[in-house]
Structure formats: C-alpha cells, structure tokens
Structure 1
Amino acid sequence: MVLGGLLPGSPVVYAAVILAATGLIWFGSGWLESAAERLAAHYGLPAVVQGSIIVAVGSSFPELASVVFTALGGSFDMGVGAIVGSAIFNILVIPGLSGVATDDDVESSRTIVYKEAQFYMIAVSVLLVTFALAVIYNPSDGAALGGTLTRPLAVIPVLLYGLYLFIQWQDVRDHEAEEAAGDVAVLRQWGKLAVGLVVILVAVEQLVGAVEGLNHAFGIPQFLAGVTILAAATSLPDTLVSVRSAKSGSGATSLGNVLGSNTFDLLVAIPIGVLIVGAAPVNFAVAVPMMGVLTLATILLFVVLRTDLSLTGAESYALLLSYLLFVAWVVAETAGVTDLIRGA
C-alpha cells in the first residue's frame, strides 16, 4: 500500500511514487556506498574485494530489500524477477555505460575474468539447480513445472556464498595493504552507512507497493514487472557507483562491483526471502528461460572482458544493444507476440 493509503490508488500516483522512491534509493545508496568505500579504504582492503564485497553488498541492498518486502507481501515472483532482471541489467548495461562514459577502455584483469566472472557463472548454475530441486522434491499441485522452495533448499546457495567469502578472505590475507588513511572518521562513516540503509528500506517498501499497484491496474504479470520496472529502479545504485569508478580509472572496482553485486543477489538476496517466509513458490517454466538469458549475458561479458583484458567502446555499445534486445523480447512476451516464457 502506497504511503499507508494516504494517496489515491491511480496509475499516475503509482508512477510518481516510483520516481520519488527511485530518487530516495539514489540518495540513500550514495551515502551507503560512500561510507562503504571509505571504510574499505580505511581497513586496507584490495580494490577487487572493495568492489566485489564491500561496495557490491552495499549497492545490492535495494535488491535485498525488494525480495524481503515482496516475500512478506506474497508476491515473491516479482522479487525473484527483480533479482534476475537486475542481474541482466548489471551484466549488460552497467559495463556498457561505464565503457561509454570513459574516454579510454575500461581495464579488466585476470582476477576479474578468471575468479569473479567464473564464480558468478557457478552462482547462476547453483541457483538454477536449487530451483530444479524445489520442483523435483516439492512439486506444486497446480503447475506441471512448479515447486516450492523451502528453507533447507535456500541454504544451498547461501553456503556457496560462504565459499565466495572464504576465497575473498584468502585474497585479503595475501594482500599487502597500503597505509590506512588517517583522516577517516570511522564512527561517522558507520553512521552514514546506517542512515543510508534506513532510507533505502523505506524507499524500496514504497517502490514495491507502487509496482504492485501498476500490476493490478494494467494486468502486468508479477515476474515481468519485477524483471523490468523494479529491476531497473533497484539497479540504479550499482549503475552510479560503477560508472563513477570507471571514470576515475578504477576499472577493477567497477567490474568487481557488477559481478560481486550479482553474486550476492543470486546467492543471498533470493534465499533470505525464503528463509524469512519459510517457503516460496517456484515456476520452473518462467525461471529457466530468464536464467538462460542471464547465462548468455554473462558469457557475452566474459568474452568481451577476456579479449585483451579490457572493455572497448565498441564492445560497450554491443552490451547496451544486447540489453535493448532483451527489453524488446520482454515487451513482446508481455504483449503476447512471443510465447517463450510459459506461465509468466
């Protein structure tokens, strides 16, 4: 419910709330990411770890909040759609915009390509296997390819994220940190981080309510609404921080944020929603095509990053064009022109 029912439930109001909530997410994420970056620098973490864990988890908080609120509201499909749509957006649009916004190529590294990108591919596979286990062992009565994702199954991707943290911890141990900056007000930065989290929570709660209102007004399926509207709004923080990092010459932090944020979203954000509510429905007929698109997008990013270990301007435009084709396909599915996503 938008603003506790204080405003009338009309499409114009819902659209205005979406814009306002997106602005609040941008504001709160700015505080959160700024504090996270300064704290990471203060504690002497390597650039890849800053991007793939500290900044990534901070910028992924809107997606995490969206899953929690949709799960509590009984619209878990929209939350999962937001995560998958956000992941596709992050993989194609954010590196593309980062490459377009900079004069030089966005520099990658073997660590990004062979550790972050490949581990992310494993994360996609494990989440898809988890969905398949839900369909096999907890089948739904009303859907041939439906199932129920329970708490024990939700623990599987979380355990994989634990392995990811272990790998990053080993890198931190091997890293020779530079001398920590002495002018960082640590308590103040932790306070800014907390305020940013609260602002994001309030904004995402209103955003989810407004998107659900548009669903009822126009008959948009929950999953597809999550893939498009909710995904783009919650991906704004990742976009801003990655483009800013790329423009400042920190390609490793920019690309590490993209891959680390997506890894967190798939392995932590979706399972947390299930762990909170206890169980959530899974439609395998919807999940597989979307996860297939996400896999193709990840392979495309892997290929362009491995080529000379950099992202050129032409490759950036190719990523952006790929996302436009994805959006066109989603619109075609919504309009009934194509029928590849069964049961959406």
Structure 2
Amino acid sequence: MVLGGILPDTPVVHGLVIVAATGFIWLGSGWLEESAERLAAHYGLPAVVQGSVVVAVGSSFPELSSVVFTALAGVFDMGVGAIVGSAVFNVLMIPALSGIAVDTDLDANREIVYKEAQFYMLAVATLVVTFSLAVIYAPIAGETLVGRITRPLAAIPLLLYGLYLFIQWQDVSDHDATIEREADIGRAWGKLAAGLAVILVTVEQLVGSVEALGATFGVPEFLAGVTVIAAATSLPDLLVSVRAARAGNSTTSLGNVLGSNTFDLLVAIPVGVLIVGSVPIDFAVAVPMLGVLTLATVLLFTVLRTGLSLTTLESYVLLAGYGLFVAWVVAETAGVTHLLRGS
C-alpha cells in the first residue's frame, strides 16, 4: 500500500513516490546538516565528531528502522543483508560521489584514517565474533552454521559502541574550539528532530516503493535487498556527505560515512535483537558479506591514506569497486558463484 492505501498500488505511482521521496529526503538531509553544524558550533564539537556522531546517527535512522522491522517480522537475515549492503554502498559510493562532486581533492586527515577507519574495521571484526559466539553457544538444532543471537551476545557490540562514544567524548574534551553560542539553540534541536522525522517517513515510503517495483519486475529479493534497498536507505548519508563536501567540510563528509557504518553495525543490529529477545543468524551468509565489507573498507582506507586525500582518480577506483560488488551480487543471485553458502 502506498501512503496507507491512499494512492493506488501501481508501478507509475511507485515511480512518482520514489521521485517525491528523494526530494523530501534532500530537504530533510539539508535540515539535518544545517542543524548539526549549528549544534556543533554551539557546543564546540570537532568536525570529525560532528560528522561521525551527530550527523551519522541521525542519517542512520532508516537502517535502524529496517533492522527493527525485519527482526519483528522474523526475517533478521534480510535486515543484516540490507545493513551490510548499505555499509558497502557507504564506504565505496558515497566517498566516490563526494570526491567527484568537488573540483579539488577531498581532504582527509590522520584522525579520519587512523581513528575512524580503523575503529570501523574493529566494529566489523566484533560483529563477526558475535555471530561466531551465537553459532558456538546457541546453535539451532538441525541447522548447519546457524545460531541464535541472544540479548547478552547483542550487548557485546553495544559495549564497543560505548567505547567509541567515550573516545569521541575525550576528543571533545581535548578539543580547543571557538564556541559560537546560538541565541535560539532550541530551534536548532527542533530542526534536527524535524529533519530526522522527514528522513524516517520518506525513506520508509521510498523503500516500500522500491520493493514493490522489484516484485513487479521480478528482481530477486536478495539482489534488491543488498543493492537497491541498501542504496535507498543510504540516500540520507549520500546527500549529507555530498553537501558537506561541496561546502568544503571534507572531514564531516568522510566522518559521516564511517560513523554511520559504525552505528549501523554496533547499534542498529543489536537493537533489533534487544527488542525481540533473540534472532537466528546464518553464519554462512552473514560472514562472507562482512568479508566483502572488510575488503571494501580496506580499499577506502588505502586510497585515503595515500596523500591523506581522495583524488578524482581514486574516486573512480571506488566506483569501480562498487561495480564489482554489484556484479558479484548478481552472480550470486544467478547461481554463478556460491560464496554465500546459506543463500
């Protein structure tokens, strides 16, 4: 149903909804970015904290919602697949398009490369360990490499995110910033909340229309989930990062990418578990996907470290990397490759 059944369920309507939702997400991401900048200036937050926490958490609400909804529906693997697909899109497509959108190189710094990128790789490893513990200590009878993630296991990545926030808090304490007090800080918080609400509602409609069109035209669920749906839920991140890059805030642009992915892996997935109590996870599907995500992150880490900037050529290398990812997903769907044993 489109808009609760108000509009007819036809491909043309779904296409119009996608166009309209994209416009509203652009509007909401603009409010999110503007309010985040005002709040960061008011509280004296470093640019990397603004991008990796304030903006990143806000623009990650669609991914958080998708995990919660799939967990409640009993298809948690689909939610994990969408999260990982979104993460691959974030680390390859968003920096690439942000780098192409500006006339000069997209500057990075050692804090982005050595703190944000490496902590994100630690987040991926922690999630693999959590899934492994589920298979070892809570196996599902009669299944191979399928375990159940319980609330105590879900606490492991959440604790690591607590460490991440502690590190960011220490950076804020050590940061010597020029504080620009807002006369009406409540309005900035209100605009932030309004931006989040617009993004959340419109992404839900966008994802629903994309799923409906995929079903209409026979696009396999797995292919749509880790590519189209993942890209749709990452649209706020894309718009925020491109806006920040064009405004000359390259640290915020890149910090948003890595901070969003860290939040998705360490918070969004565990929250789904905490809500429903426990969820099954297919190790043979989840871990190869996380392995591909690790390779994508290593590629981003490498191009950012060379000269501590992202050149136009390196942006196109990231685009090519995402093209290879999509080609692999298509090959898995067509049965040409069999890396995902449980799919």
TM-score w.r.t. length of structure 2: 0.92
Residue 144 of structure 1 aligns to a residue in which SS? coil
Alpha-carbon distance between aligned partners in 2 of 1:89 and 1:78, rounded to the nearest angstrom? 16
Alpha-carbon distance between aligned partners in 2 of 1:192 and 1:38, rounded to the nearest angstrom? 10
The residue number in structure 2 matching 1:115 is 115
Query: Contact 2:36–2:54 (CA<8 Å) still a contact in 1?
Result: yes
1:257 aligns with 2:247: no
Residue 167 of structure 1 aligns to a residue in which SS? helix
Query: Contact 1:37–1:54 (CA<8 Å) still a contact in 2?
Result: no
- Equivalent pairs: percent with the same residue? 73
TM-score w.r.t. length of structure 1: 0.92
Residue 341 of structure 2 aligns to a residue in which SS? coil
Structural mapping, 1:27-42, within 5 Å: 27-42=27-42
Alpha-carbon distance between aligned partners in 2 of 1:286 and 1:202, rounded to the nearest angstrom? 30
Alpha-carbon distance between aligned partners in 2 of 1:27 and 1:71, rounded to the nearest angstrom? 29
1:199, distance to aligned residue in structure 2 (A): 2.4
Query: Contact 1:33–1:241 (CA<8 Å) still a contact in 2?
Result: yes
Residue 190 of structure 1 aligns to a residue in which SS? helix
The residue number in structure 1 matching 2:97 is 97
1:9, distance to aligned residue in structure 2 (A): 4.8
Say what the alpha-carbon RMSD is for the aligned residues: 2.1
Query: Contact 1:66–1:204 (CA<8 Å) still a contact in 2?
Result: no
The residue number in structure 1 matching 2:172 is 172
What amino acid is the match of 1:98? S
Once the two structures are overlaid, the 10-residue window that deviates more, 137-146 or 55-64, is: 137-146
Query: Contact 1:79–1:223 (CA<8 Å) still a contact in 2?
Result: no
Alpha-carbon distance between aligned partners in 2 of 1:77 and 1:231, rounded to the nearest angstrom? 14
1:220, distance to aligned residue in structure 2 (A): 5.4
Deviation per CA, 1:178-229, whole angstroms, max 9, x where unpaired?
Answer: 13144x5311121122222222332343345445545655665654432112
1:71 aligns with 2:71: yes
Query: Contact 2:199–2:236 (CA<8 Å) still a contact in 1?
Result: no
- C-alpha distance 16-340 of structure 1, shift in aligned 2 (>3 A): farther
The residue number in structure 2 matching 1:337 is 336
- C-alpha distance 15-146 of structure 1, shift in aligned 2 (>3 A): farther
Structure 2: stretches of 5+ with no match in the other structure: none
Count how many residue pairs are aligned between Structure 1 and Structure 2. 343
The residue number in structure 1 matching 2:306 is 307
Query: Contact 1:33–1:58 (CA<8 Å) still a contact in 2?
Result: no
What amino acid is the match of 2:248? G
What amino acid is the match of 2:307? D
Once the two structures are overlaid, the 10-residue window that deviates more, 13-22 or 330-339, is: 13-22
1:280, distance to aligned residue in structure 2 (A): 1.6
Once the two structures are overlaid, the 10-residue window that deviates more, 194-203 or 110-119, is: 194-203
Structural mapping, 1:1-344, within 5 Å: 2-7=2-7, 9=9, 13-182=13-182, 185-213=184-212, 222-344=221-343
Structure 1: stretches of 5+ with no match in the other structure: none
- C-alpha distance 75-12 of structure 1, shift in aligned 2 (>3 A): farther
What amino acid is the match of 1:284? F
Once the two structures are overlaid, the 10-residue window that deviates more, 5-14 or 109-118, is: 5-14
1:132, distance to aligned residue in structure 2 (A): 1.2
1:295, distance to aligned residue in structure 2 (A): 0.3
